[in-house]
Amino acid sequence: MSVLVFVKEPHHLEKRCALLPDNVKVYKKLGATVLCETEIGLTLGFEDQDYIDAGGEIYTDRSLALSKADAVLSVRPLPLADIEKTPETCCSISFFDPFNNPDKIKALLANKRSTISMELIPRSTRCQKMDALSSQASLAGYVMVLKAMTNINKILPMMMTPAGTLKPAKVFIIGAGVAGLQAIATAKRMGANVIAYDTRPEVAQQVQSLGAKFLNIDLGETGSTDQGYAKALTDKQLQIQQQAQADCIATSDIVITTAQLFGRKPPLLITNDVIARMKPGSVIVDMAAQDGGNVEASKAGETLIFKGVKIIGNGDWAGEVALDASQMYANNLQALVQDMWNKDLSAIEVNQEDDVLLSALVTHKGELVNAIIKSQYSKEVA
């Protein structure tokens, strides 16, 4: 019988939680022992008793709990000091941020622990239930529109009143993947006039089906990877895009940028000279601010004013709706554990041959087993 250990989030700013009481019931049905750190769900309004009622066991001694773990599950990755307290056979599962963690990967290889990165779960139909990037991005799209709405000095819908007619706000959304499409749908629901752009041409139809307009820019061949992610543009293509969207940005009340390149720095899409052309009081929300930004003037974790335009680079978007984000993330984890569960042994099993783990397992038994991460760090962690 496997022991699943859930810790209070290691990062003090993390508001989400990897386990809700309903998940405990499912893990118990599988046959797992579920150890939950005291006050694990307190920030979401769950008492320890809720976890106990669902079949979990509350612990206060983290070192002792970790020493019994077959798997440790969290939103943010465990600190190395905690990982070292787990048995060598233990597997930790979290948003591991594998592209920015060479030192941690080195340490995990040295101490032979297994790591699964939720960012690397395949974006396939089979894995939709485990796709934590999508669940969190979808909430982020919603939250970014709310942020923009509460920071702009006008309303989004058209309003015809005896005191005059208010025009609908113009909202331009750059990047129409999971977050962008949710942002489009949210802004449309609020009555805004929404325009969107994405380098993947197949997205145009999805944008239009949400009632928004698609900005057509001819960049020539753009393409996507076999996982459905956008490929990086050439410098020339990026320049064409920046110029072609400049007028649309300058005349927008709200611009939301969600353009990302999987495993790479996000593209710079809005330069300071274009921001300077926007109306004072307009708002830009840069989803990518935390990773380098789509917007030249944005700063990670900050809201600032540049040339009269408010630029929001919060980063912790899903954390703003932590209860729903936790429910979705905890369900993603639960689906992964169910998929990894060996019914005969009543245990969680790291099966390297399985498609999901072929993609999401980073380190295992002292080896860097993930092909993408291996190619990224071939020299650094050798």
Taking CB under 6 A as the rule, does residue 289 contact ligand NAD? no
Told to judge if 338 belongs to the known catalytic residues of this protein, a careful annotator would answer: no
Of residues 2 and 260, the one with the C-beta less far from ligand NAD: 260
Catalytic residue among 67, 124, 128, 290: 128
Residue selected from 56, 77, 98, 267 as contacting ligand NAD according to rule CB under 6 A: 267
Told to judge if 229 belongs to the known catalytic residues of this protein, a careful annotator would answer: yes
The distance of closest approach from Cβ of residue 212 to ligand NAD in the complex, given in angstroms and rounded to an integer, is 14
Of residues 349 and 354, the one with the C-beta less far from ligand NAD: 354
Told to judge if 128 belongs to the known catalytic residues of this protein, a careful annotator would answer: yes
Of residues 355 and 367, the one with the C-beta less far from ligand NAD: 355
* Tokens, residue 373: 């991460």
Residue selected from 21, 56, 168, 177 as contacting ligand NAD according to rule CB under 6 A: 177
Taking CB under 6 A as the rule, does residue 178 contact ligand NAD? yes
3-state secondary structure the chain: CCEEEECCCCCCCCCCCCCCHHHHHHHHHHCCEEEEECCCCHHHCCCHHHHHHCCCEEECCHHHHHHCCCEEECCCCCCHHHHCCCCCCCEEEECCCHHHCHHHHHHHHHCCCEEEEHHHCCCCCCCHHHCHHHHHHHHHHHHHHHHHHHHCCCCCCCEEECCEEECCCEEEEECCCHHHHHHHHHHHHCCCEEEEECCCCCHHHHHHHCCCEECCCCCCCCCECCCCCECCCCHHHHHHHHHHHHHHHHCCCEEEECCCECCECCCCCECHHHHCCCCCCCEEEECCHHHCCCECCCCCCCEEEECCEEEECCCCCHHHHHHHHHHHHHHHHHHHHHHHEECCCCEECCCCCCHHHHHHEEEECCEECCHHHHHHCCCCCC
The distance of closest approach from Cβ of residue 277 to ligand NAD in the complex, given in angstroms and rounded to an integer, is 19
Taking CB under 6 A as the rule, does residue 128 contact ligand NAD? yes
- Cβ(313)–Cβ(326) under 8 Å? no
Residue selected from 76, 85, 129, 200 as contacting ligand NAD according to rule CB under 6 A: 200
Q: Footprint of ligand NAD on residues 222-261 (CB under 6 A)? A: 228-230, 233, 241, 258-261
The distance of closest approach from Cβ of residue 94 to ligand NAD in the complex, given in angstroms and rounded to an integer, is 18
The distance of closest approach from Cβ of residue 170 to ligand NAD in the complex, given in angstroms and rounded to an integer, is 18
Told to judge if 51 belongs to the known catalytic residues of this protein, a careful annotator would answer: no
Of residues 190 and 269, the one with the C-beta less far from ligand NAD: 269
Catalytic residue among 229, 264, 290, 354: 229
Contacts of 102 by beta carbon, 8 Å cutoff, 6+ apart: 377, 380, 381
Told to judge if 134 belongs to the known catalytic residues of this protein, a careful annotator would answer: yes
The distance of closest approach from Cβ of residue 149 to ligand NAD in the complex, given in angstroms and rounded to an integer, is 22
Q: Which residue is nearest to ligand NAD (CB)?
A: 177
Taking CB under 6 A as the rule, does residue 176 contact ligand NAD? yes
CA distance 222 to 220: 6
Of residues 226 and 353, the one with the C-beta less far from ligand NAD: 226
The distance of closest approach from Cβ of residue 95 to ligand NAD in the complex, given in angstroms and rounded to an integer, is 13
Active-site residue list: 123, 128, 131, 134, 229
Contacts to ligand NAD by CB under 6 A: 123-125, 128, 131, 133-134, 137, 174-180, 197-200, 228-230, 233, 241, 258-262, 267, 269
